């Protein structure tokens, strides 16, 4: 199984690049599944039901969220109706939506796509390690599902690496999101799980993590009130990873970074 995962899509620049590139990538890379992080799709803050549908129409199979899940309040009433939309599994009790999606793929394959959110330098959340243990007891690899992707949405690289090793051998891939910067540590962990600390954002990198640099630098340097942050609108780099998953074991056989368009050094699987 070939799985493409793209990091946080930021604003119109990120959306346009992803929607333009996905059909060609799906064909040329013979992708079986596409999962994207959409928590910053709506002008940097959350995602709307309409944008979810636009991503699905472009070939996306599931959308993960994060700490910005509910920035667009209309998503709260919509989330329960969309089985492909994934908010953090360890969100506090009573949060709308679901923490995982089970995607029925061609040739009888089933992909479990999950998101957990970190607790270091983030808002309070329930225990992500216990939450994923409970889910994996219900849906073990090679039992109910043929592949498992975990989006670990966290600030600290340490917490993301810890989650990678915690899940090594139990899931197909653990890929980080939220920091909006791609890390250069794509690897197969010793027990066969594909791992990268952060996928990087799909957005304009002439920015401060996707947001217009003038306002962002003013806020950082002056610590005074100013305009609300808005996404940078130059050409986006689409960032993510291509993971190949062995059909027999459900573990990964390769992970390769992808960076296409915009300012970053290009990388094409
Ligand atoms: Fe983000
Ligand atoms: Fe985030």
Ligand nearest to the CA of 180: 1
Whether the per-residue pLDDT at 102 is higher than 90: the answer is yes
**CA 43 to ligand 1 centroid distance, Å:** 11
CA–CA separation, 101 vs 114, rounded Å? 7
Whether 117 contacts 68, CB under 8 Å: no
In DSSP terms, 175 is beta-bridged to 151, 196
The reported pLDDT for the residue numbered 198 is: 99
Ligand nearest to the CA of 40: 1
**CA 35 to ligand 1 centroid distance, Å:** 15
The reported pLDDT for the residue numbered 218 is: 97
233: left (phi over 0), alpha (psi -120 to 50) or beta: alpha
**What's the sign of the alpha-carbon dihedral 5, 3, 265, 174?**
positive
> Which tens digit of pLDDT belongs to each residue from 192-206?
999 999 999 999 999
Delimit the domains of the chain by residue range.
2-260
CA–CA separation, 195 vs 11, rounded Å? 26
Superfamily of 2-260 according to CATH: Metallo-dependent phosphatases (3.60.21.10)
**CA 141 to ligand 1 centroid distance, Å:** 28
Question: Is 68 noted as a catalytic residue in this protein?
Answer: yes
Q: How confident is the model at residue 142 (pLDDT cuts 50, 70, 90)?
A: confident
Whether the per-residue pLDDT at 52 is higher than 90: the answer is yes
Whether 59 contacts 21, CB under 8 Å: no
Write 126-130 long-range contacts (CB < 8 A, 24+).
126/90, 126/91, 126/92, 126/93, 127/90, 128/88, 128/89, 128/90, 128/152, 128/163, 129/163, 129/166, 130/90
The reported pLDDT for the residue numbered 33 is: 98
**CA 73 to ligand 2 centroid distance, Å:** 16
């Amino acid at each position: 199984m070939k799985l493409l995962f793209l990091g946080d899509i930021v604003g119109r620049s990120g959306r346009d690049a992803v929607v333009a590139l996905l059909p060609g990538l799906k064909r040329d890379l013979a992708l079986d599944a596409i999962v994207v992080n959409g928590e910053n799709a709506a002008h940097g803050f959350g995602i709307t039901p309409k944008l979810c549908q636009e991503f699905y129409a472009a070939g996306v199979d599931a959308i993960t969220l994060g700490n910005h899940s509910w920035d667009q309040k209309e998503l709260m009433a919509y989330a329960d109706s969309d089985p492909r939309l994934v908010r953090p599994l360890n969100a506090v009790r009573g949060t709308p939506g679901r923490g995982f999606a089970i995607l029925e793929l061609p040739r009888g394959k089933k992909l479990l796509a999950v998101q957990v959110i970190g607790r270091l330098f983030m808002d309070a959340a329930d225990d992500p390690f216990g939450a994923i243990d409970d889910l994996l007891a219900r849906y073990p690899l090679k039992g109910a599902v043929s592949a498992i992707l975990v989006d670990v949405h966290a600030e600290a690289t340490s917490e993301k690496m810890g989650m990678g090793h915690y899940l090594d051998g139990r899931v197909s891939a653990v890929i980080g999101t939220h920091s909006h910067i791609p890390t250069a540590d794509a690897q197969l962990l010793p027990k066969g799980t594909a791992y990268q600390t952060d996928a990087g954002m799909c957005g304009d990198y002439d920015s401060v993590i996707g947001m217009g640099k003038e306002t962002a630098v003013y806020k950082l340097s002056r610590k005074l009130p100013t305009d609300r942050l808005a996404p940078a609108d130059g050409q986006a780099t689409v960032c993510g990873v291509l993971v190949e998953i062995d059909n027999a074991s459900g573990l990964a056989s390769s992970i390769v970074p992808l960076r296409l368009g915009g300012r970053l050094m290009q990388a094409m699987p």
